[in-house]
Homo-oligomer: A and B are copies of this chain.
Amino acid sequence: MDAVSFTPIGTIRTPHKRASDTPVQPAYAEGIEGRVELLPEYVQGLNDLFAFSHIYLIYHLHKAGPPSLEVIPFMQDHLRGIFATRSPRRPNPIGVSLVKLVGVKGNVLHVEDVDILDGTPLLDIKPYISRFDSREEVRSGWQDDVDEEAARKQGVRGYRAEPAEDET
């Protein structure tokens, strides 16, 4: 099938400077602030976005390792099909993160709960609309067996490995 080409529309800025230190999910990056710098030519597209509390960022996982059809996810010690995981080592390294939108100033979005590597190329922004994007009666496969406390410890990764100064 023909390749599809996309051009980044901005850059995601976060405190996560190394892939290995980046939390694996927004849920494990609570309160961590980031900035989305949209290229100025797209600023008109942000109209009305400020009134949404949560948005999806869709981005290029530009530092993902080589693709692999099976991976051992962070939260469990079993080999799993790549499409049953959120691992970045996907055939097409496209990331989707649901983050809190704190504010919009010009072409910059202030966001929270970012589990994204600094410098990540942004491809799209979509609003989170609860009546479309939330489901009840969900089965989440192997994720339902994950020990949440252990997962959280592993999932935050480098970010809280060393206590921040205000935590000591």
Contacts from A to B (Cβ < 8 Å): 1-9, 11, 25-27, 39, 42, 44-56, 58, 60, 62, 69-70, 79-86, 90-92, 94, 96, 98, 121, 123-135, 137-143, 148
A interface majority secondary structure: mixed
Given A51-B142, A94-B58, A124-B90: A46 and B130 interface contact (C-beta under 8 Å): no
Q: Which B residues lie within 8 Å of A2 (CB)?
A: 8, 121
Given A1-B8, A70-B45, A86-B126: A135 and B98 interface contact (C-beta under 8 Å): yes
Q: Which B residues lie within 8 Å of A58 (CB)?
A: 92, 94, 96
Contact of A84 among B6, B60, B127 (CB under 8 A): B127
Contact of A127 among B60, B126, B140, B148 (CB under 8 A): B140
